[in-house]
Amino acid sequence: MEISPTRKKELSKLADFVSGLFSSGGVTQLDKIVAFEGLELYIDHYEDCFDGMLVYGEEQFHIHLNIDRRNDITTARGRYSLSHELGHYYINEHRIGLQTGELEPHTSFSEADKNDLIELEADYFAGCLLMPYQKIFYYDGVRKFSLDKIKGIASTFKVSLLAAAIRYCEVCIHELMIVVSENNTVKWYERNDHFPKWPFRFKVHGPLPPTTVAGEYFTKANSRFETVEKVKPDDWFHPFPDDYRAERTMNEQCFYSDGFGYVISLLWFN
């Protein structure tokens, strides 16, 4: 399931407008948005039930953040969760649905459900709110692309590395793909329109290709490589033989999230 390009433009325009009103430098001031809208914010212990949740009751909206899953207004994860809930609030269809009871309150997790359009829209809004198009498109803290550029974006906008990677993948003008895996299993992927639409050597919920940098990390001892590694396109894909990019060197660089157990693979061409 995907958000249509027209809908993305609507959500981006809305998020950019809100961020423009409440930002200091590159950082969107979420606390000021909450205060301006008169929202009740609760940061409490909810075990492993959710990251965030927006609830309507007593003619008021209430946002709950789960500190047990590292959500706080000062953390990158918490800022994303709060922005996600603000997405539910600002997107008319979500807000009205909650007010009328047509929508049940969503217990949102930072690992988005790719089959839930409402959650995808709130996630997309969150990325746009925290990293507005104009600011991230012209971000040039590190000229040459690598994981260092994504780390710079994450630091500048006070977001997680994963959120920064997803947002930059969308707005950048060169070929870029992200594959997120856990326990040698592909969880999901994102690729921008510039990246070749080759058939994969993997399936979502299936094992990683064994000759990839991420695949070797899970299957071979002492194979944790954090530098930019040169790989062949056919390590990950079945390239079309008449596509000139099939002969180009592809780069793979991995980020290992020891705290949450997943691996992010960045794939791009020189």
Contact 108, 52 (CB under 8 A): yes
Contact 128, 163 (CB under 8 A): no
Identify any residues that bridge with 207 across adjacent strands, giving them in sequence order.
185
Which amino acid appears at position 116 of this protein?
D
For domain 5-135, the question of CATH label 1.10.10.2910 is answered with: yes
The count of residues in the chain is: 270
Query: Which residue is listed with tokens 């070929």?
Result: 175
Condensed to tens digits (0 to 9), the pLDDT of residues 65-82 reads 999 988 999 999 999 999
State the pLDDT at residue 114.
Answer: 66
Contact 68, 80 (CB under 8 A): no
Which amino acid appears at position 234 of this protein?
D
Identify any residues that bridge with 230 across adjacent strands, giving them in sequence order.
251
In the chain, which segments carry CATH 3.30.450? 174-269
Q: Which residue has the higher pLDDT, 139 or 32?
A: 32
Q: CB-based burial of residue 190 (10 Å sphere; 0-12 exposed, 13-18 middle, 19+ buried)?
A: middle
Q: What percentage of the chain has pLDDT greater than the value 70?
A: 97
Query: Which residue is listed with tokens 């918490």?
Result: 78
CA distance 121 to 124: 5
Condensed to tens digits (0 to 9), the pLDDT of residues 83-106 reads 999 999 999 999 999 999 998 887
In the chain, which segments carry CATH 1.10.10.2910? 5-135
Nearest to 163 by CA among 212, 116, 112: 112
Q: Cα dihedral sign for 36, 40, 44, 48?
A: negative
Condensed to tens digits (0 to 9), the pLDDT of residues 191-219 reads 999 999 999 999 999 999 999 999 999 99
CA distance 94 to 165: 26
pLDDT(245) > 60: yes
**pLDDT tier at 110 (50, 70, 90 boundaries)?**
low
State the pLDDT at residue 258.
Answer: 84
pTM of the model: 0.88
CA distance 168 to 176: 9
Fold held by 174-269: Beta-Lactamase (3.30.450)
